[in-house]
Structure 1
């Protein structure tokens, strides 16, 4: 089955490259560093380091505290961080800089995988969340590289997909020494699709362990005053195509009662910045762009067209809509506004954050809406009730505080995996 998978993957390569070329029309970074996607690297060879894979921006943000903790515990081990997307790559370089080595993970083709592992020779492989690659995992097993999936999550839909290929999935997961799942439901699904029960544990979600720098609240207050003065601020973070118009309609409805309301809109993908600005203009809104470095002034919409500032802008806002949830993307991280004490609103499509969203709603720290009309109603109701808004924000922050601790548990499990691997090697 794995040979068939590899053969089909090789046949798909021309179409994958064509897609990269198509995406590069709007995002030129997609046409760069293609050699890395086939395991060919210009950086020096390495040996014996810790390798962490985070597919894109969301996984990278979750991985940063873990990477720092692992580097602190293993100061003599070099750290390699791989991503798949240019936005993830840019975020790794911006946050971690030269403290780590960074390349793209190659496609899951036998030759590329072998070249990658030969080039870097990691002594620990850590994969974030949901990435499962048959050739890569099998090669790690063959080389006796301890392999872990951490902050692991598996939706019912994904489990059904993997369940259609039980032999391939079971063989793939046989090389994994640790699956540190976010919830018991995630752990059960991994076992259901073929993971060995003794390798699966529940450690919680490390996204609760947000690391806010000292003085961040004061910095956020100053930024808000500088950019928005005394205006109310609604932020729509990580929006996808199909969500911007409902957000703008909701904003327009709220503006009928709250004339000083400002909207910050942060598209998830940089290639959409210009299109979102054009959409705002077509709806009659004046736009200021963060990259221009000027306050909102007399404009209506502040386009957050930079990377890495979303968490800070959640903290400067009165209300937050978290995107990827009005369209079937699966949602994005509502813990970021919650940790800042900002009420989080989100749509019905939450399969990537099912447990988090459910628990946040139960804690009274979030509000789910079905469409743009309900979003507008919720915004109006919360802006009209400052005390209720503050209570929801306080409950959201408390929910995040109570969920902390997964980071240390994951790091401890990784230490145990390393110890067990060394003991087996010495037998």
Structure 2
């Protein structure tokens, strides 16, 4: 099965490269660093110890931030190789680790396609002492080459939905071989651990989600206050990380949003910013874009504006700080939901749709702790939003519950580092 998997990669490689070019029409970053996708990298200085962390896109890169910084503190003689698969993830890494890159402590690159040849190239070029994969990134040939080159492997912040488990079981032989390659697995919840064990993973520990250890970047909350001042006293409902198919439902229901409330709409993928803007304009809804506000020091969002489109990257904490409550996207459609932790950490009440299987345990706990409310349609979202926006006491109580919920989950980074440190120490100089 793994041989067939490897052959398939070589057969689809021309299509994969064409897909990069095609996606580059809207997101030019896909046309940059193409050689890295094939395992060819520029020269890098030798390192006494290099720890490889793979974070596929924006969410994983943000989740990796506390862990990467903890690794740098624990191993001051080491540098970090941070790999991604999307330009948005790479741009997020550049933003989060600008100082570390300038100090020569961190290198960024794209992960190559999962063939034995290309994975061997990246390992032999960077010579990592350990490879750390985040969440659900299981690449059979990457794992095989790490084992062959005696590079210890860890899967951290690991999660596995019931849907992903069923899909994985169809390739059980490949998944079992991959699972056997991990020296340690740090699962977010006991449910995740139980599912991962069905693939044959051993040495599994439940550490929680490192996303709870993320702190707002310096100045971000102050930017949120500036944005709020530019909006004025209007209530603000934020729809965060919305995906294709959800904005239509939200726009269909926007007339149900009471009074002069402002809808702050933040699509998850930057290549969709212009498409969503056209969608709003075609409906004749008054809109302004975050990119038109500059530094917000002297800009004002007109009272006639119904929608503020969040068309920027790296400002999610700012948006959360500026809103009164937040709906977390990816959950109206059958997409599994997105991370609600950032909204909770800023003390905002959360609304989630019916489809949260990617974050089922955390979402269920947040609902139980009165930090979140589940809704089943965009119309119900507007009804719940109206009720909360008109009830200051209830909204503030939910916000405090959300903040307390996030604070109780802290410590996953420390627990994860305790699992990783012995493996890195064993490979040290």
Say yes or no: TM over 0.5: yes
Secondary structure of the residue aligned to 1:3 is helix
- Which residue of structure 1 lines up, in the alignment, with residue 82 of structure 2? 81
- Which residue of structure 2 lines up, in the alignment, with residue 211 of structure 1? 215
Alignment of 1:200 with 2:204, yes or no, is yes
Secondary structure of the residue aligned to 1:103 is strand
1:361-409 Cα shifts (integer Å, max 9, x gaps): 0001101111111111111111121111111111111111111111100
Distance in 2 of aligned mates of 1:245 and 1:193: 39
Alignment of 1:296 with 2:301, yes or no, is yes
For 1:392-403, list aligned pairs within 5 A: 392-403=398-409
Q: Which moved more, 1:289-298 or 1:396-405?
A: 289-298
- Which residue of structure 1 lines up, in the alignment, with residue 388 of structure 2? 382
Q: Against the structure 1 CA distance between its residues 137 and 9, is the aligned structure 2 distance closer, same or farther, given a 3 Å change threshold?
A: same
- Which residue of structure 2 lines up, in the alignment, with residue 166 of structure 1? 172
TM-score normalised to the size of structure 1? 0.94
Give, in angstroms, the shift of residue 214 of structure 1. Answer: 6.0
Alignment of 1:188 with 2:194, yes or no, is yes
Distance in 1 of aligned mates of 2:135 and 2:120: 23
Q: Which moved more, 1:227-236 or 1:216-225?
A: 216-225
- Which residue of structure 1 lines up, in the alignment, with residue 36 of structure 2? 36
Q: Against the structure 1 CA distance between its residues 45 and 171, is the aligned structure 2 distance closer, same or farther, given a 3 Å change threshold?
A: farther
Q: What 5-or-longer segments of structure 1 have no aligned partner? A: none
- Which residue of structure 1 lines up, in the alignment, with residue 232 of structure 2? 229
Match of 1:324 among 308, 326, 330: 330
Q: Against the structure 1 CA distance between its residues 295 and 102, is the aligned structure 2 distance closer, same or farther, given a 3 Å change threshold?
A: farther
Give, in angstroms, the shift of residue 282 of structure 1. Answer: 2.1
Give, in angstroms, the shift of residue 46 of structure 1. Answer: 4.1
Q: In 2, are the aligned partners of 1:45 and 1:120 still within 8 Å (CA)?
A: no
Give, in angstroms, the shift of residue 416 of structure 1. Answer: 2.5
Secondary structure of the residue aligned to 1:382 is helix
For 1:24-423, list aligned pairs within 5 A: 24-44=24-44, 46-47=46-47, 48-97=49-98, 98=101, 99-196=105-202, 199-213=203-217, 217-225=221-229, 227-254=230-257, 257-259=258-260, 261-292=261-292, 293=294, 294-297=299-302, 298-419=304-425
Q: In 2, are the aligned partners of 1:178 and 1:417 still within 8 Å (CA)?
A: no
Distance in 2 of aligned mates of 1:46 and 1:152: 31
Secondary structure of the residue aligned to 1:150 is strand
Give, in angstroms, the shift of residue 276 of structure 1. Answer: 0.8
1:190-232 Cα shifts (integer Å, max 9, x gaps): 1111212xx111111111112135676555333311x212221
Number of aligned residue pairs: give it.
417
Distance in 1 of aligned mates of 2:187 and 2:315: 28
Distance in 2 of aligned mates of 1:46 and 1:375: 54
CA RMSD of aligned residues (A): 1.7
- Which residue of structure 2 lines up, in the alignment, with residue 18 of structure 1? 18
Q: In 2, are the aligned partners of 1:249 and 1:376 still within 8 Å (CA)?
A: no
Q: What 5-or-longer segments of structure 2 have no aligned partner? A: none
Q: In 1, are the aligned partners of 2:129 and 2:427 still within 8 Å (CA)?
A: no
Secondary structure of the residue aligned to 1:4 is helix
Distance in 2 of aligned mates of 1:400 and 1:249: 32
